[in-house]
Chains A and B, each alone.
Chain A
Amino acid sequence: MHREDFPILKNDLIYFDNGATTLKPKCVIEAMNDYYYNYGANIHRGDYKISHKASEEYELVRDKVKEFINARNAKEIVFTSGATDALNKIVFGFMKDYLHESDEVLITKSEHASNVLPWFELKKLNNIKINYIPLNENHELTLENLEKSITKNTKVISIASVTNVVGDVRDIASISKIAHQHNIILVVDGSQSVPHMKTDVIKDDIDFLIFAGHKMLGPTGVGVLYAKEEYLEKTYPIEFGGGMNQYFEETGEVEYKSIPTRFEAGTPPIAEVIGLGAAIDYLQSIGMDNINKYEQELKKYLVSKLEKNKKVILYNKSSESGILAFNLEGIFSQDTAIYLDHYNICVRAGNHCAKILKNEINIKNTCRISLYFYNTKEEIDKLVEVLENSDDLFKVIL
């Protein structure tokens, strides 16, 4: 769908690495160019027209994000430099004060490094406990296992709504119900779900949600931290400087601005935020439900085709997202990716920043296909054909 909107697709490219980052439509690039060409001033600081315009456009995107994820108030939306930055802000701005010795945080072994390492660091600081909710035989999270993992010390559950290698779509509404029954705070890493399906933080009753702009057609360098107002009010900034303070005195007396500005120290990624706004408009115009439906259809098609190839090992064919991890029998994943690159097919090889998943699926490295709505069945046919003919793989890559 909508391939004509993506200039890069004119280059005979089959792009299957959308879990890493997505391609950019013309409207996003143009919105950023428009800022740089026509009103490239700093925000909140000038009493002149183009600075005013920049500030307005920047704040307008906050409203767009609020609508997009159905938050109650634009105050609950903080712009960050990415998903990683947003998770660090939650862990070190809020959890550091909230969690104490022997409090437990539940995560899973399929989380991205950015939802693991900040917790490891907090463990060093506060002596908290990190426990892994066991995954089922398909490496997916079940509500039953979640409930079994909760103890009287569990204070936080921090999980991806869709994981980036297994691609399982987690039932966030039910998970938040369980969490809240036990007075547990739910942190949701929406990096792989927000770009692909409707997000509703009220319906799903999410306490903290984070996601990255560049995985949803937006530019790199911008992400979003959403938190319920009551939690954001209790979050302390972890970066200090201009833009976020009310006043300060030489004595060291200082007062910070209210939420969300308090968390946006320094000059923010203005062009990037504006680009993200254009991406949201564009996604809304297609419709998140249409995107999701189309991707599910593509995924089913992909699995049904690859299943016929005996050399292909599939690791997560049952998961409902557009993510598929595979290997060619006896071939190191990187060699497969290099082979596909010879046909201009982009897939990612490796551990995909989910380094503890290897203990779960007993394989360290995989190739990952991650789809988006501009992918087509024809592209999948080409991939299937190239993998079919892979007996000559080393002739091609060596």
Chain B
Amino acid sequence: MDSELKREVILDNYNNPYHKGLKNEKDYKKANTNNESCIDDIDIELKIENGIIKDANFDGEACAISTSATSIFLRKIIGKSVNEVKKLIENYENLINEKEYDEELLGELMAYDTIYMQPNRKHCALLPVDTIKKILKEE
């Protein structure tokens, strides 16, 4: 992805995020970012049935990077199995932390492939996965 396209992907997902607005129904599991190092405040809810992510939503106030990454992530994981999501998370974390990753698997998330150059923004990019991991821990 060239930098123009990356910016476009991020801004589209920031300005018009997918899956924004919580349903707060009882078969959803919810977690908040409560990120120690920044001021982003995002709630994510997942509906998991038989090990498959059936629905995913978020709400809250956060910076462009966190918001867009959350939007892209949620869109990507709906319909996937918990194990597939865990694998995606692992690859995404590797991307942010400059380790080996599977580019094909990540798709649009490749928009964040230069975040490592701004170390103070890494945690913004990792916000959705940190929160999703909290929910999946119990699965």
Chain A, range 327-352, C-beta contacts under 8 Å to B: 332-335, 338, 349-351
Closest to A394 in B: B11
Chain A, range 348-398, C-beta contacts under 8 Å to B: 349-351, 364-365, 394-395, 397-398
By size class, the interface of chain A is: 10 to 19
Tell me whether B41 and A364 are in contact (CB under 8 A).
yes
Closest to B39 in A: A350
Tell me whether B7 and A334 are in contact (CB under 8 A).
no
A334 and B40 contact, Cβ closer than 8 Å, known pairs A394-B11, A397-B64, A398-B11: yes
Residues from chain A with a CB closer than 8 A to the CB of B11 are 394, 398
B136 is an interface residue with CB less than 8 A from chain A: no
Instruction: Tell me the complex Cα distance, A335–B41, Å.
Output: 14
Tell me whether B41 and A398 are in contact (CB under 8 A).
no
Tell me whether A332 and B10 are in contact (CB under 8 A).
no
Tell me whether A398 and B39 are in contact (CB under 8 A).
no
Residues from chain B with a CB closer than 8 A to the CB of A395 are 7
How far in angstroms is the closest Cβ of chain A from B35? 11
B62 is an interface residue with CB less than 8 A from chain A: yes
Tell me whether B39 and A334 are in contact (CB under 8 A).
yes
Residues from chain A with a CB closer than 8 A to the CB of B6 are 398
B61 is an interface residue with CB less than 8 A from chain A: yes
How far in angstroms is the closest Cβ of chain A from B127? 12
Tell me whether B7 and A364 are in contact (CB under 8 A).
no
Closest to A395 in B: B7
Choose among A335, A351, A364 the residue that contacts B63 (Cβ–Cβ < 8 A).
A335
Task: Tell which of B39, B41, B65, B67 has the most Cβ of chain A within 10 Å.
Answer: B39
B1 is an interface residue with CB less than 8 A from chain A: no
Instruction: Tell me the complex Cα distance, A332–B10, Å.
Output: 14
Closest to A350 in B: B39
B105 is an interface residue with CB less than 8 A from chain A: no
Chain A, range 46-78, C-beta contacts under 8 Å to B: none
Chain B, range 1-37, C-beta contacts under 8 Å to A: 6-7, 10-11
Closest to B111 in A: A398
Tell me whether B64 and A398 are in contact (CB under 8 A).
yes
Task: Tell which of A335, A349, A395 has the most Cβ of chain B within 10 Å.
Answer: A335
> What sequence of 0s and 1s flags, for each residue 34-78 of chain B, a beta carbon within 8 Å of any chain A beta carbon?
000011110000000000000000000111110100000000000
Instruction: Tell me the complex Cα distance, A338–B40, Å.
Output: 14
B122 is an interface residue with CB less than 8 A from chain A: no
How far in angstroms is the closest Cβ of chain A from B125? 11
Can you list 12 pairs linking A and B with CB atoms under 8 Å apart?
A: A332-B61, A333-B39, A338-B63, A338-B120, A350-B39, A364-B61, A365-B61, A394-B7, A395-B7, A397-B64, A398-B7, A398-B65
Binding site for A on B (CB under 8 A): 6-7, 10-11, 38-41, 61-65, 67, 120-121, 124
11 more CB-based (< 8 A) A-B contacts, given A332-B63, A334-B63, A338-B63: A332-B64, A332-B67, A334-B124, A338-B121, A364-B39, A364-B61, A394-B10, A395-B7, A398-B10, A398-B11, A398-B64
